[in-house]
Amino acid sequence: MKMFETSTSEKLSATVQNEPVKIAVIGLGYVGLPLARLFATQYTVVGFDINRGRIEELQKGHDSTLEVPDEALKKVLLPSNPLSEYTTVPEGDGEEIQLTNGKGKNGKPKKGLFCTPDLMDIQDCNFYIVTVPTPVDKGNRPVLAPLYMASETVGKVLEKGDVVIYESTVYPGVTEDECIPILERESGLTFNEDFFAGYSPERINPGDKKHTVDKILKITSGSTPEIAKKIDQLYASVITAGTYMAPSIKVAEAAKVIENSQRDINIAFVNELAKIFNLLEIDTHEVLKAAATKWNFLPFTPGLVGGHCIGVDPYYLAQKAQERGYHPEIILAGRRMNDSMGGYVASQVVKCMIKKDIPVSNATLLMLGVTFKENCPDVRNTKIVDLIESLEDYGVRVTTYDPWAKPEEVEREYGIKTQNHLSNIQGSTFDAIVLGVSHDEFLSMDLQPFQNKNSVVYDVKGVLENTTGKL
Ligand SMILES: NC(=O)c1ccc[n+]([C@@H]2O[C@H](COP(=O)([O-])OP(=O)(O)OC[C@H]3O[C@@H](n4cnc5c(N)ncnc54)[C@H](O)[C@@H]3O)[C@@H](O)[C@H]2O)c1
């Protein structure tokens, strides 16, 4: 593994054409905002997003994804665009240099972050980092429209010497074969002569306050050896965990997509084990615990695979493989297994109810958690919805409580009503309680007041004691 230690002087030598580093981050979501905030501690950063509501909340110093604490955001926020105002900065012996429209060759624009929905605000940047979503459609085919649109946006403001770095998760080839032609068309510039590109996949883990963006080793790559080094130095100047410079953009793209595919396949394997051990009436978690005492046993646990990374990225790789005439067997088998788990868990809960002589039709059930993972407000592609729908198919009446999810968002996305205040469910008791997401709040919650005399308690995450059943 190649690691780059970068000094401040090397960092400054990474500037384009001796201009200061001026970064535009396109797409300020779970990935873009933490990255923009981090770069803004050292550089001038303009964050661009087409969602005006998102820009408004960020400029007020609040991140509704909860990835960047408000204090940390406010610390770097700039009230106006440092690249479009005349300003003076102290320099060297106290002399002040006037910047003209952010283009000053001798001065430095203010460091910090300014967020905007206005394209003109990013026109003077020299590094463009694209962090827009790459979802799949209902048929699990990759949707590259946001990436194409973001490339058109950047193409409109691209100038000679600029560098465009893609971070969105894609299949190998998207950057060079699909995005670069858009940049060339929109800008009228020539790739690798007038402007350059790179790919640096993001490994951030929403809700994880330990592995934050600066503490996760970052893969980098560039369209020429010099640009690869420049991009690597730029990231290494803010990522304390270090960087790994991949030999090509395609290698970097492929590395990201297989990281998540590998996780998906491993989880699919333990989900299959859970189905087998449930038939054999053996506790899967105990089996995994025992097996994990071997030095090279991989510690995966069964569960619902939701969100927009692990459950999505394998389809990107599969699509590219199929285009080349190869039908991926293991990758797609993993996806099928993991996508079947919502329905499977519902059937297990219903079995537990029947064993306790609880009439299933019109039974009341409390679902704890609706987000796609613990301690995170993100409900996109959550598989808890599959579980709720399957339970409702059996005639069970489900009440959902999640202190992290926004009820209006869940209703808009899925048509499901949720409660986010405990007081709204207090006083009610249920025939069954299902722990679907292991938010910290649930780990210390007393379930007794919500149970009927004969209630089922089912634990999807394997974290509760004294349950009727678990996955
Ligand atoms: N969230 C994660 O855990 C995670 C981790 C690693 C990689 N990724 C990848 O990073 C990429 C971004 O994911 P995310 O979770 O941050 O998405 P997100 O939906 O949270 O944020 C994307 C942002 O981009 C904005 N946007 C969409 N189209 C745009 C456009 N044309 N121009 C400007 N802004 C636009 C949206 O308004 C949104 O604010 C995806 O490819 C994803 O697979 C995500």
- Is the per-residue pLDDT at 269 higher than 70? yes
Query: Mind telling me the catalytic residues?
Result: 309
Q: How many CB atoms lie within 10 A of CB 282?
A: 11
Length of the chain measured in residues = 471
Amino acid (one-letter) located at 334: G
* Mean pLDDT, residues 179-201: 98
Residue 254, token pair as written in the block = 């492929």
Per residue in 141-150, pLDDT tens?
A: 999 999 999 9
Residue pair 400/394 in contact by the 8 Å Cβ criterion? no
How far apart are the CA of 229 and the centre of ligand 1, in A? 25
Cβ–Cβ < 8 Å for 196, 227 = yes
| C-alpha distances out from residue 289 to 275, 284, 462, Å | 17, 9, 12
Parallel, antiparallel or unpaired: strands 22-26 and 127-130: parallel
Say whether pLDDT at 9 is over 90. no
Instruction: Read off the pLDDT of residues 384-417 as tens digits, 9 standing for 90 and up.
Output: 999 999 999 999 999 999 999 999 999 999 999 9
pLDDT exceeds cutoff 90 at 84: no
Nearest CA, atom 31, ligand 1:
150
Give 228 Cα–ligand 1 centroid separation in angstroms.
23
Dist CA 404 CA 440 (whole Å): 10
Question: What's the pLDDT tens digit per position in 353-386?
Answer: 999 999 999 999 999 999 999 999 999 999 999 9
Which residues approach ligand 1 with their CB closer than 6 A?
A: 26-32, 48-51, 54, 131-134, 146, 149-150, 153, 168-169, 202, 204, 206, 308-309
Distance CA 381, CA 384 (A): 9
Please give the structure tokens belonging to residue 120.
């003109």
Q: How many CB atoms lie within 10 A of CB 409?
A: 17
Per-residue CA distances from 310 to 75, 235, 306 (Å):
33, 24, 7
The pLDDT assigned to 4 comes to: 37
Going from the Cα of 29 to the center of ligand 1, the distance in angstroms, rounded, reads 5
The model's pLDDT over 297-327, given as tens digits with 9 standing for 90+, comes to 999 999 999 988 999 999 999 999 999 999 9
Q: Which atom of ligand 1 is nearest to the CA of 31?
A: 16
Kindly give the pairing relationship between strand 163-166 and strand 95-99.
unpaired
Hey, whose CA ends up nearest to atom 25 of ligand 1? 27
Instruction: Using the atom order of ligand 1, give the atom closest to the CA of residue 203.
Output: 6
Bridge partners, 400 (sequence order): 367, 418
CA-based Rg of the chain, rounded to a whole angstrom? Answer: 25
